[in-house]
Chains A and B, each alone.
Chain A
Amino acid sequence: MTAMTDDTLPVTPRALRDEMIALVVMVALLAIVPWSGIYLFFVMQALCFALLACAFNLLIGYGGLLSFGHAMFLGTAGYVTAHALKVWALPPELGILAGTGAAAALAVITGLVAIRRQGIYFAMITLALSQLLYFVYVQTPFTHGEDGIQGVPQGYLFGVFNLANATILYYVVLTGFLFGFLLIFRTINSPFGEVLKAVRENEPRAISLGYKTDHYKLLAYILSGTLAGLAGSLKVFVAQNASLTDVEVSMSGLIVLMTLVGGLGTVFGPVLGAFVIVAMQQYLAGFGQWVQVIQGGIFVACVLLFRRGVIGELAHLLKRSL
């Protein structure tokens, strides 16, 4: 049996240096976006999805756990943040905290259930859990059913930064993204991350070495769910709404697709994948259901032809770690 990310290179000082260079380039590029004339709304949306895909990638790429229900964190955090801002009239920072906290709590609860099985069962269980939550949100009144929570006020972050200003909002979203990205980057290069990779490669061996693998998997799951929640909270400020589409199975599939296109188990793959898929959705919006067919086609092509994804293939070609 070949693991999904069996050809990732070992972390060497050189690999770490390559990743740092790529990181600096990425941050520099993202920092100058407001002067480039690129539509800011698009980049902000892509950044939210990039954080979401990175959080998902932490689980599958380094823990070997494929979650097919990550939309539940996106949607839950989105609903809670939107409700906190609109109904409770909380300031943005508390709204983000409430949404991310709700996602963290959800991750603890669902994690205790989901990590009881591995592999294919883990994927099916997370899928079923997110569908359970979907039906809950369809029925509970605070989500406003099919309409969703519309017209969420953006407010002033810390009472100073006006989030209705696109440029300010952009840097806030970028800060949130970088916070999550660096946290994940730090995690996968920490002793904790190394144990996680050991669990992915050979769980019985890790257990025999004395590691409580369930604890590691649960922690990774909670971290992943919480950061996915942060992405969901930030997305509320960009889209100014929270709706059922964020909790749907197709959203979970989209997260998987972004990561797969960019490269499972690569540091920068999910970011690139998110930008590619969000751009594709913008450009193909007029084609109706054909977008879904194209997405399915990309899934099939990725699995059959380039399982390493764009960044993974590039890293393999250059024999570098990216």
Chain B
Amino acid sequence: MQALYAQLLVGLINGSFYALLSLGLAVIFGMLNIINFAHGALYMMGAFCAYFLLNLAGIGYWPALIIAPIVVGIFGMVLERTLLQWIAGLDHLYGLLLTFGLALIIQGVFQNFFGSSGLPYAIPDELRGGMNLGFMYLPIYRGWVVVFSLVVCIGTWYLIERTRLGAYLRAATENPTLVRAFGINVPRMITLTYGLGVGLAALAGVLSAPINQVRPLMGENMIIVVFAVVVIGGMGSIMGSIVTGFALGVIEGLTKYFYPEASNTVVFVLMVLVLLVKPTGLTGRAA
């Protein structure tokens, strides 16, 4: 049973990353009509940013948790202003190709300087050790990642679904021209939205650094799994992305325990099943 709980926890952690990444993808797709293929590369940049902060500037985990998403978010906003904005209004597929190219560039540059091996990033002192819960041993850092990700996800959901800013955002997703006519600076909102989505990816990167090590290709496989998560959940609803992300992480964890050979493929198999039963994805709305 110990092993089952341990795999469940690993599943929840992966689920947190899936949720944070697919949430960002959904928000970006809503505003920019772009599927951000560079999301995995930006997730990796978040982890590297935390690594640089620690090793070059001596800035630890806690400040990095805020600084890294902001730095990478600003980098994302620069990308949006200089490159992505020029393809607005073109076929969605151009956005996919452009961001795929960006992912190749970013990952290639990092691979040139850091190879393919992992760089260690220590768990902060406050979160070391573990707790005995009676039925299982819980490493504190892992518990922290799950709880913190959940809080960030729900915070983002609240921001978009319950605040005035979120209302502008949803309105601009539905009809940008009309929202612009009301005097709201939609292009600036688009840039900020991209920054927000990218920041969430970078945050996931920082969270994963002490668990998975910092590797140039850490986002390469991740982004494809997250695409499958997005196909399963549909990009129509914020809450849908969060729930699907966590649920698929847990299912993946359970598979690792019961049938480890299929743990890499279970998400894709589920995607096929969902497509056969309900092609529009679980949360329904057709794109």
Partner-B contacts on A (CB < 8 A): 1-4, 60, 66, 68, 113, 116-117, 119-121, 123-125, 127-129, 131-132, 135-136, 138-139, 249, 253, 256, 260, 288-293, 295-300, 302-304, 307
Contact = CB atoms under 8 A, between A and B. Distances in A.
Contacts of A2: 89-91
B125 interface: no
Contacts of A120: 29, 35, 92-93, 96, 287
Contact of A129 (B35, B89, B112, B272): B272
Of A131, A296, A300, the most chain B CB neighbours within 10 A belong to: A296
A119 B92 contact: yes
Interface in B105-119: 105-109, 111-112
B231 A299 contact: no
B182 interface: no
A300 B101 contact: yes
Interface in B188-215: none
Contact of A296 (B92, B94, B103): B103
* Residue in A1, A4, A116, A299 whose Cβ sees the most chain B Cβ within 10 Å: A299
A138 to B, nearest CB: 8
B279 interface: yes
8 contacts: A116-B276, A124-B228, A127-B224, A129-B272, A256-B97, A292-B104, A304-B98, A307-B94
Given A124-B35, A127-B227, A304-B83, A296 B101 contact: yes
A134 to B, nearest CB: 9
Contacts of A125: 231, 271, 275
A66 to B, nearest CB: 5
B98 A128 contact: no
B184 interface: no
B146 interface: no
Contacts of A124: 35, 227-228, 230-231
Nearest to A253: B100
B268 A129 contact: yes
A300 B112 contact: no
A113 B272 contact: yes
B227 A128 contact: yes
B255 to A, nearest CB: 12
Contacts of A3: 91
B159 interface: no
B126 interface: no
Shortest beta-carbon contacts, A-B, top 7? A299-B101, A296-B104, A296-B105, A292-B108, A132-B268, A293-B108, A116-B279
Contacts of B103: 296
Contact of B112 (A136, A290, A299, A307): A290
Nearest to A4: B91
A289 B116 CA distance: 11
A3 B91 CA distance: 6
Interface residues of B, number: 44
B93 A249 contact: no
A4 B264 CA distance: 34
B142 to A, nearest CB: 25
B102 interface: yes
B251 to A, nearest CB: 15
B151 interface: no
Contact of A292 (B91, B94, B107): B107
B185 interface: no
Contacts of B109: 293
Given A117-B231, A290-B108, 5 more contacts: A117-B279, A120-B287, A256-B97, A300-B101, A304-B86
B267 to A, nearest CB: 8
A119 B83 contact: no
B91 A303 contact: no
A221 B83 CA distance: 32
Nearest to A125: B231
Interface string B6-33: 0000000000000000000000010000
B87 interface: yes
Contact of A131 (B89, B94, B268): B268
Interface in B233-274: 261, 264-265, 268-269, 271-272
Contacts of B35: 120, 123-124
A293 B105 contact: yes
B26 to A, nearest CB: 12
B47 to A, nearest CB: 18
Given A113-B276, A292-B111, A299 B91 contact: no
A4 B268 CA distance: 28
A119 B235 CA distance: 14
A300 B268 contact: no
B287 A299 contact: no
Given A125-B231, A136-B265, A288 B97 contact: no
A123 B230 CA distance: 12
Contacts of B101: 295-300, 303
